[in-house]
Amino acid sequence: MSLIEINGLKVHYPIRGGFWNRVVDNVKAVDGVTFDIEAGETYGLVGESGSGKSTTAKAIIGLEKATAGTVMYKGKDVTKGENRRKLDYNRDVQMIFQDSLSSLNPRKRIEDVIAEPLRNFEHLDKEEEKLRVLQLLDIVGLDADALYKYPHQFSGGQRQRIGVARAVATHPKLIIADEPVSALDLSVEAQVLNFMKKIQRQFGISYLFISHDLGVVRHMCKNIAIMTRGRIVEVGTRDDIYNNPMHIYTKRLLAAIPETNVNHREEHRKHRLEIEKIYQEQQKTYYDQDGMAFPLVKVSPTHSVALPPELAKEFEQQSENKGVNV
């Protein structure tokens, strides 16, 4: 059984207009997103800025109200507040935010920042609390001196590590990491990602890893979902996505990964321009008249793609001929 199951999740924002200020339309920030996260795995959610990734994360954790759909945890729908309280959901699911500076209270010392979830859920005495905070700082590689400092006194990488320490304070089952390294330089980025992997091995934590960087996701995630315009357009294992991409949006994202080998840069540039040309020519066929992606079609046991109706029928027929249930 999965640790958490997201089924048909929707977050729509009403657009009001007219004399009576009625709802005339909706912005479909998230529209029918479905995926499962297994215990101890890192699940990647990838897409460009504005694709709906962060809104999905906020709806899962309860910071955004879901318009429709369910988030199932221990057999209960935690989009309902009473179920979240009964299951201690807010303790078991934590979040690491993209902007480490704005997510840490500038008026609080690091001791109080990290101790806040402990005070909310564990009610330790002063000695035990301080000991736990020191243990958490040690886990993320910071000295005891950090206790009495303020967030602005740390570098971006150190602040992100403090965010990780705060997230793991309550021994959560799932951490939602929303672009945790996008504001960091490459050496610090690698450091933070390695800390996250180390903590995962140590505590058996699951991650929902949200990023626009497919290079980072390849390093971190076993299963990946590609998201655009509020819908998931391709789901598969790391091998499915990187070695056999089928949606033109996924191909475009992969082509945008920089080529580090100088000898292949010109070849890579030509490939990227070719993919961009195909994307501009064919994108209308991959989206419906409202600009939304088509439903996912299973093309292998681990791989599903939002294909145009004509291609989807071809795959269904091929599968029927092979005796495979799609």
Task: For the chain, give the percent of residues with pLDDT over 70.
Answer: 98
Strand order through the sheet with 76-77: 22-37, 4-17, 68-73, 76-77
Residue 326: pLDDT over 50: no
* Mean of pLDDT values over 26-47: 95
> Is the pTM here over 0.85, yes or no?
yes
Backbone angles phi, psi at 223, to 5 degrees: -115, 140
Distance CA 326, CA 324 (A): 6
> How would residue 265 be classed by pLDDT, with cut points 50, 70 and 90?
confident
Residue 234: pLDDT over 60: yes
* Mean of pLDDT values over 24-30: 94
- Nearest CA-CA partner of 294 in 234, 210, 224: 234
Q: Return the minimum-mean-pLDDT range out of 76-80, 113-117, 313-317, 319-323.
A: 319-323
Tell me whether residue 93 is exposed, middle or buried, using C-beta atoms within 10 angstroms of its C-beta: 0 to 12, 13 to 18, 19 or more.
buried
Arithmetic mean of pLDDT over the chain: 91
Task: Summarize pLDDT for 146-190 with one digit per residue, the tens.
Answer: 999 999 999 888 998 899 899 999 999 999 999 888 877 777 888
CB under 8 Å to 182, separation ≥6 — which residues? 98, 211, 212, 213
- Say which residue the tokens 């221990």 belong to: 74
Angle, nearest 10°, between helix axes 126-139 and 156-168?
130
Taking the alpha carbons at both ends of the chain, their separation in whole angstroms is 22
Q: Return the minimum-mean-pLDDT range out of 34-43, 55-64, 156-165, 237-246.
A: 156-165
Q: What is the reported pLDDT for 322?
A: 66
Residue 106: pLDDT over 90: yes
Residue 67: pLDDT over 90: yes
Q: What is the reported pLDDT for 107?
A: 93
Contact 312, 297 (CB under 8 A): yes
* Mean of pLDDT values over 197-204: 90
Domain segments of the chain as ranges: 238-326
- Say which residue the tokens 């990491």 belong to: 177
* Mean of pLDDT values over 121-135: 92
Residue 5: pLDDT over 60: yes
- Say which residue the tokens 């993209």 belong to: 98
CA 79 vs CA 10, 40, 58, 66, 318: distances in Å: 11, 23, 11, 7, 39
> How would residue 1 be classed by pLDDT, with cut points 50, 70 and 90?
low
Which residue blocks in the chain are alpha helix, DSSP H? 53-61, 81-86, 89-92, 110-121, 126-139, 156-168, 186-203, 214-220, 238-243, 248-255, 265-282, 309-322
Task: Summarize pLDDT for 276-319 with one digit per residue, the tens.
Answer: 999 999 989 999 988 999 999 999 999 999 999 988 888 877 77
Q: What is the reported pLDDT for 325?
A: 52
User: Residue 225: in which H helix or E strand, if any?
Assistant: strand 223-228
Distance CA 20, CA 99 (A): 39
